[in-house]
Amino acid sequence: MKLYDSAGAPNPWRVKVFLAEKGVAYETVACDMSKGEHKTPAFLAKNPSGKIPVLELDDGRCLAESVAICRYLEGVYPAPNLFGDDAFEQGFIEMRNRQIELELWSQIGTSWVNGPIVAKLGRFTQNPLAKEISDKNVERYYGRLDDEFAAHVYVAGERYSVADISLLAAVNFATRMVALKPSNELKHLWRWHSLVSARPAVQACL
Ligand SMILES: N[C@@H](CCC(=O)N[C@@H](CS)C(=O)NCC(=O)O)C(=O)O
């Protein structure tokens, strides 16, 4: 199978860490977003949303959306389990992952598209007020995470899951590309960050 990827892109990175956790071999196809390779008719036939990652199976079928791809991989390669064992754990991990995506990733995304790197591309109308608000929302969310990590080891309680991969990708992208590094005072958040960053699968994707 092939993964359509682009260096530094945080969503494909989530899938790469997931694949590394599963120990699955795959081929990478570099997609140059600066040249619009993700918007060509050939690419849109693979993912009409024109976004990466896309996982293309050997029979040509394609999946987009990072978590949908990871769910597929979990089904085909069940070990190690990253989406939960029993029904409650599956629901809980899904809940935590959705909160990270809907409440944190969305705000980092708003700060990113209204920030200096995207502004230079000149493709989007900039909204500084939206960025000011989303920056504050990200910082507030980091504070919430710090409180949660004071009580729990991982995003979804006491076990590592896909939700940790989603959060790690978000924090690393926000730190490196959006100037939204969590404050050094957030000790519990940084304790979690060190713990998950040390995983061999994460190290292999850095
Ligand atoms: N919800 C999607 C988001 C995918 C996404 O936004 N990918 C970015 C790269 S990290 C992209 O392709 N951006 C180009 C664009 O939106 O045109 C997922 O989880 O995979």
- The full set of domain ranges for the chain reads 2-76, 87-199
Q: For the domain made up of 87-199, give the CATH fold.
A: Glutathione S-transferase Yfyf (Class Pi); Chain A, domain 2 (1.20.1050)
Nearest CA to ligand 1 atom 1: 65
Separation of CA 107 and ligand 1 centre (Å) = 14
- Ligand 1 is surrounded, with C-beta below 6 A, by 9-11, 33, 38, 50-53, 65-66
DSSP 24-93: ---EEEE--GGGTGGGSHHHHHH-TT--S-EEE-TTS-EEESHHHHHHHHHHHS-SS--S-SSHHHHHHH
Pairwise CA distance, residues 47 & 14, whole Å: 18
Separation of CA 165 and ligand 1 centre (Å) = 16
Query: Is the pTM here over 0.85, yes or no?
Result: yes
Separation of CA 123 and ligand 1 centre (Å) = 16
User: What homologous superfamily does CATH list for 2-76?
Assistant: Glutaredoxin (3.40.30.10)
Nearest CA to ligand 1 atom 15: 51
Atom of ligand 1 nearest to the CA of 50: 17
Pairwise CA distance, residues 194 & 74, whole Å: 25
The backbone region for 9, taken as left when phi is positive above 0, alpha when psi lies in -120 to 50, beta otherwise, is beta
Separation of CA 44 and ligand 1 centre (Å) = 13
Tens-of-pLDDT digits for all 206 residues of the chain? 999 999 999 999 999 999 999 999 999 999 999 999 999 999 999 999 999 999 999 999 999 999 999 999 999 999 999 999 999 999 999 999 999 999 999 999 999 999 999 999 888 899 999 999 999 999 999 999 999 999 999 999 999 999 999 999 999 999 999 999 999 999 999 999 999 999 999 999 99
